[in-house]
Chains A and B, each alone.
Chain A
Amino acid sequence: GDSVTQTEGLVTVTEGLPVMLNCTYQTAYSDVAFFWYVQYLNEAPKLLLRSSTDNKRTEHQGFHATLHKSSSSFHLQKSSVQLSDSALYYCAQGNYKPTFGKGTSLVVHP
């Protein structure tokens, strides 16, 4: 079956430095969208980024990700993190029966 893998459970970064959160996937579908959702403490998850186009960079709130179908990856990156970026990040495949990764908790410290 389909799966989404986020290898890091916890990432700790100093404010102002870059970060990359990993996401790889397995899917039987050739035309499906991939997502990054962000969940701040005591809030609901909400959309951060979405992409269904191979090799096209998608950006929002300073974060960016590029869907690479050749390597089955959709890594999330930011060049300079802020304290307010501390949150739980989920990578997901957006089929009618969606698949989520286990989530990566990003902690940004001064």
Chain B
Amino acid sequence: GGIITQTPKFLIGQEGQKLTLKCQQNFNHDTMYWYRQDSGKGLRLIYYSITENDLQKGDLSEGYDASREKKSSFSLTVTSAQKNEMAVFLCASRATGDDTQYFGPGTRLLVL
């Protein structure tokens, strides 16, 4: 088995601030994902990475940057936090072979 760790668990920021969320996995999976979860809108893909140093834009990449420095970690940066923004950011990794995704516990973002 394995685990996905996301830090921080809660993130409170100010409008215009650059905020970084981190994700670590020990499954040894190649592919990793960042999703944004808003009530009623499902899981929207922000960025994904098929392998170390690879980055692919998802459907919601505007306003975000990502970084995959090594196989086990995938970071997401909110480049300029929007006032009153509130969402949960989920990191996931994908098993090779059966395509199942394994999710982390999430980072809850609140921008004041």
Instruction: Spell out A's residues near B (CB within 8 Å).
Output: 6, 9, 32-33, 35, 37, 43-47, 50, 90, 92, 94-103
Which B residue sits closest to A99, measured CB to CB?
A: B45
Nearest chain B CB to A13's CB is how many angstroms away? 20
Instruction: Note all chain B residues with C-beta closer than 8 A to A47.
Output: 100-101
The DSSP consensus for interface residues of chain A is: loop
Instruction: Note all chain B residues with C-beta closer than 8 A to A90.
Output: 42-43
Q: Which residues of B from 73 to 112 have beta carbons under 8 Å from A? A: 90, 94, 98-106
B58 contacts the other chain (CB 8 A): yes
Nearest chain B CB to A48's CB is how many angstroms away? 11
Whether B33 lies near A98 (C-beta < 8 A) is yes
Nearest chain B CB to A100's CB is how many angstroms away? 4
Given A96-B31, A97-B48, A97-B56, also A50-B42 (CB < 8 A):
no
Which A residue sits closest to B33, measured CB to CB?
A: A98
Instruction: Note all chain A residues with C-beta closer than 8 A to B94.
Output: 96, 98
| Complex Cα gap A68–B15 (Å) | 47
Instruction: Spell out B's residues near A (CB within 8 Å).
Output: 4, 31, 33, 35, 40-45, 48, 50, 56, 58, 90, 94, 98-106
Given A94-B100, A96-B50, also A43-B43 (CB < 8 A):
no
A sample of 24 inter-chain contacts (CB < 8 A) reads A33-B99, A43-B105, A44-B90, A44-B103, A44-B104, A44-B105, A45-B103, A50-B100, A92-B101, A94-B99, A94-B101, A96-B31, A97-B48, A97-B56, A98-B45, A98-B94, A98-B99, A98-B101, A99-B45, A100-B35, A100-B44, A100-B45, A102-B42, A103-B40
Instruction: Note all chain B residues with C-beta closer than 8 A to A101.
Output: 42
Nearest chain B CB to A23's CB is how many angstroms away? 12
